[in-house]
């Protein structure tokens, strides 16, 4: 059984993906792979092309060229089969404003074709610490509660791959830790996760591997420790380091000190 064709395909294979809005190239041909049970972080400053990369994988924008395969399934040629394996948390989540948390859970379960009993919803809401908020509307929740709810909704149909766009942006440290724990639990349940962040701390705390992206191109890929080892003698990195080289030094060294708004 050493034949390579017997191996399962990677959970996500992105090959030379290009995204453009009119003449503006947002993603200029990126390639990477995510294996089973892996948390992969796409790190990049504002405007680097993170959301555009995710949008192309999700089928929200049509790539100009290249392709992405989820569990070996081409997302453009077989969008329904690919999406059935995908759970998505967009950069800013908003659900139907007038519905309660419980109604939202039921609505999305129904959309995914999953039956959830009252007991199952209660148990899930207890797990994510929202059992006291069942009657509240989404917009009445705190930022951390909203992100936990959005992550729960993204996993209702037990997808193989989760795409989380800046899942912890704007959260306080306690909420951020709670969400990291939820993301690690999702990995423990056999899912793979692609998340975007500009937090080096987050990349080091939860990501098995990361890629640094800027101006629509991947600059480097590896474990956080590998990236430090690989780039610690780069003069651009040494110039910005204060003492032993950190992942943030590598990030700033490779993407430059210019401020992006
Ligand atoms: N709908 C759009 N129309 C035109 N340009 C866009 C659109 N969305 C993003 N862009 C541009 O594409 C580039 C990448 O954006 P984005 O993927 O949102 O980056 P990130 O998520 O890393 O901040 C930026 O220059 C941004 O201004
Ligand atoms: Mg973005």
Q: What is the Å distance from ligand 2's center to 24 Cα? A: 16
Work out the number of other CB atoms within 10 angstroms of the CB of residue 112: 15
Which of 46, 52, 163 is the best mutation target for the ligand 1 pocket, counting ligand atoms within 8 Å of the beta carbon and taking the most?
A: 52
Alpha-carbon distance of 20 to 169, in angstroms, equals 25
Q: Is the distance from the beta carbon of residue 261 to the nearest atom of ligand 1 less than 6 Å?
A: no
Alpha-carbon distance of 198 to 165, in angstroms, equals 11
Residue whose CA is at the smallest distance from ligand 1 atom 4: 21
Instruction: Give pLDDT tens digits along the chain (261 positions).
Output: 456 667 889 999 999 999 999 999 999 999 999 999 999 999 999 999 999 999 999 999 999 999 999 999 999 999 999 999 999 998 877 888 789 999 999 999 998 889 888 899 999 999 999 999 999 999 999 999 999 999 999 999 999 999 999 999 989 999 999 999 999 999 999 999 999 999 999 999 999 999 999 999 999 999 999 999 999 999 999 999 999 999 999 999 999 988 887
- DSSP string over 136-191: SBGGGS-HHHHHHHHHHHHHTT--SEEEEESTTTT--HHHHHHHHHHHHHHHHTT-
- Strand, coil or helix: 220: strand
Work out the number of other CB atoms within 10 angstroms of the CB of residue 123: 12
pLDDT tens column, 168-222: 998 999 999 999 999 999 999 999 999 999 999 999 999 999 999 999 999 999 9
Query: 194: which strand partners?
Result: 40, 163
Q: What is the Å distance from ligand 1's center to 87 Cα? A: 22
Q: Is the distance from the beta carbon of residue 48 to the nearest atom of ligand 1 less than 6 Å?
A: yes
Q: Is the distance from the beta carbon of residue 66 to the nearest atom of ligand 1 less than 6 Å?
A: no
Q: Is the distance from the beta carbon of residue 30 to the nearest atom of ligand 1 less than 6 Å?
A: no
Q: Is the distance from the beta carbon of residue 197 to the nearest atom of ligand 1 less than 6 Å?
A: no
Question: What are the residues whose beta carbons fall under 8 Å from the beta carbon of 130, sequence distance 6 or more?
Answer: 101, 141, 145, 148, 149
Q: Is the distance from the beta carbon of residue 44 to the nearest atom of ligand 1 less than 6 Å?
A: yes
């Amino acid at each position: 059984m050493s034949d390579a064709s017997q191996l399962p395909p990677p959970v996500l294979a992105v090959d030379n993906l290009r995204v453009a809005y009119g003449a503006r190239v947002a993603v200029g041909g990126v390639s990477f792979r995510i294996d089973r049970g892996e948390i992969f972080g796409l790190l990049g400053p504002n405007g680097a092309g993170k959301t555009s990369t995710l949008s192309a994988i999700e089928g929200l924008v049509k790539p100009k060229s290249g392709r992405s395969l989820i569990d070996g399934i081409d997302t453009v040629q077989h969008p329904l089969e690919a999406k059935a394996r995908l759970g998505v948390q967009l950069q800013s989540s908003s659900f139907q404003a007038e519905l309660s948390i419980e109604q939202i859970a039921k609505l999305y379960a129904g959309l995914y074709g999953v039956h959830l009993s009252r007991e199952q919803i209660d148990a899930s809401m207890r797990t994510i610490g929202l059992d006291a908020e069942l009657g509240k509307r989404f917009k009445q929740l705190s930022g951390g509660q909203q992100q936990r709810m959005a992550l729960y909704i993204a996993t209702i149909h037990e997808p193989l791959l989760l795409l989380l766009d800046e899942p912890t942006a704007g959260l306080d440290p306690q909420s951020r830790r709670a969400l990291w724990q939820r993301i690690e639990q999702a990995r423990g349940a056999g899912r793979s996760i692609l998340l975007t962040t500009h937090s080096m701390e987050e990349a080091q705390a939860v990501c098995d591997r990361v890629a640094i992206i800027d101006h629509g191109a991947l600059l480097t890929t590896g474990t956080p420790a590998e990236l430090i080892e690989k780039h610690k003698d780069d003069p651009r990195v040494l110039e910005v380091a204060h003492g032993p080289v950190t992942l943030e030094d590598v990030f700033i060294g490779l993407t430059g000190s210019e401020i992006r708004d």
